[in-house]
């Protein structure tokens, strides 16, 4: 029980502290992205207006969690060579968006659904 409590406190603390050490602007972006996503996620859940994004490819169904969408956006930015065009704040916002889903959704790892 105690190990689980340490994990719940330690990992988010390190995840927020590490970017702040690397770059203050990036760290502020991570915080902003996380809390912005948290605010709208709660608002959407309250109104339940948006359903989960599920791609159907034959019998295979792929659930696009928002962490996966954030990773795809980041890789697309890198692939197109646009990383230097974006402020560290905006890249931090993308990472905050990604971290929100990983921290708050217990089933964040379940991409393929039946």
Token pair for 98 = 């990604």
Ordered DSSP codes for 30-57: HHHHHHHHHHHHHHHHHHT-----EEEE
Mean of pLDDT values over 53-66: 80
Please tell me the least confidently modeled range out of 4-8, 24-28, 40-44, 51-55.
4-8
CB atoms closer than 10 angstroms to residue 78: 11
pTM: 0.70
* Closest C-alpha to 19, from 92, 104, 77: 92
Q: Where in the chain are the domains?
A: 2-113
Q: Which residue has the higher pLDDT, 14 or 63?
A: 63
pLDDT tens track for 14-37: 666 666 666 788 888 988 999 998
């Amino acid at each position: 029980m105690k190990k689980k409590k340490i994990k719940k406190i330690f990992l988010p603390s390190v995840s927020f502290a590490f970017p702040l050490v690397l770059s203050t602007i990036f760290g502020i972006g991570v915080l902003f992205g996380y809390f912005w996503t948290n605010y709208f996620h709660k608002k959407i859940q309250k109104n339940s207006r948006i359903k989960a994004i599920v791609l159907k490819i034959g019998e295979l169904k792929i659930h696009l969690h928002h962490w996966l969408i954030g990773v795809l956006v980041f890789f697309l930015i890198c692939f197109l060579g646009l990383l230097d065009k974006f402020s560290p704040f905006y890249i931090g916002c993308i990472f905050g968006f990604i971290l929100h889903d990983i921290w708050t959704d217990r089933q964040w790892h379940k991409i393929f659904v039946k």
